Amino acid sequence: MQTIDMATTPLRELNAALQAQAQQTNQTQWVIENPKGAHAVAVGLDAPIEVTVRGSTGYYCAGMNKQATINVTGSAGPGVAENMMSGTVVIEGDASQYAGATGHGGLLVIKGNASSRCGISMKGIDIVVHGNVGHMSAFMAQSGNLVVCGDAGDALGDSLYEARLFVRGSVKSLGADCIEKEMRPEHIEILKDLLARGGCDAKPEEFKRYGSARKLYNFHVDHAGAY
């Protein structure tokens, strides 16, 4: 196991070391100590390594992640796992604004609450929030799944494209063109898998599904496969 202490190692050196890990690396376990709210911790990784960040992080932790599994034991600042491509990011505490924004793939798990704009413009990422999400979550979300085990704030799924939204608790209000949809057996299956991967013991049947009414953008069924 490799340990990097941010009290003594500069941020760029830390990220360079993590980014230099190759596909076949045998240094698969990394621990980062003393993040103390630092920005851009463990960004741009592209190897199947496991990174544990012991503490809380600032802006843009785990941004652009590919393949890596990153676990933050505290809370994360704005833009955690922004534009993630693949891999897994787990936040044990809360996440600030726009968690998982624009993510193309991979799994983001937030065990506490996420604040506003969670999953804004998501493009294929799966996000599982054990607690609540704030206002404007999944704004213009294009594809992927957002699972909220608690409540959602105002304007959920405003201007939504084809992302699926599952909420167990209350939704303060739905955004433009976002509607509640029938929960069919295939959605229960998708949700069951997401909850299992997100380490959440909620029952899929307790959730409601929300999606796009497809009146705000030009949906054509021939393009359904593109999402």
Partner 1 sequence: MCGIVGLFLKKEDLRPQLGTLLTDMLITMTDRGPDSAGIAIYGDEAGGLKMTIQSDTPAQTFDGLDAALSAALGAPVTMKIVDTHAVLSLPEGSEADARAFLKEKGIRVMGAGVSMEIFKEVGLPKDVAARFGIRAMGGSHGIGHTRMATESAVTTLGAHPFSTGDDQCLVHNGSLSNHNAMRRVLTEKGFAPQTQNDTEVAACYISSRLAEGANLGEALEGTLEDLDGFFTFVVGTKNGFGVVRDPIACKPAVMAETEDYVAFGSEYRAFAKLPGIDTARVWEPEPATVYFWER
Query: What is the edge-to-edge ordering of all strands in the sheet holding 178-181?
Result: 2-5, 29-33, 50-54, 69-72, 88-91, 107-110, 123-129, 143-148, 164-167, 208-212, 178-181
Using the CB atoms, write b or e for 198-222: b if 16+ within 10 Å: bebebebeebebbbbeeebeeeeee
Task: Pick from 21, 71, 116, 159 the residue near partner 1 by CB under 8 A.
Answer: 116
> Of the two residues 21 and 56, which places its CB atom closer to partner 1 in the complex?
56
> Of the two residues 37 and 169, which places its CB atom closer to partner 1 in the complex?
37
> Of the two residues 117 and 187, which places its CB atom closer to partner 1 in the complex?
117
Instruction: Write down the least CB distance from residue 55 to partner 1, Å.
Output: 8
State which H helix or E strand residue 171 sits in. Answer: none
Q: How many other CB atoms are there within 10 angstroms of residue 111's CB atom?
A: 20
Find the part of the chain contacting partner 1 (CB under 8 A) among 10-18, 51-59, 186-194, 198-206.
51-59
> Of the two residues 93 and 105, which places its CB atom closer to partner 1 in the complex?
93
Residues within window 135-154 making contact with partner 1, judged by CB under 8 A = 135
Binding site for partner 1 (CB under 8 A): 36-38, 56-59, 75, 77-78, 93-94, 96-97, 115-116, 134-135
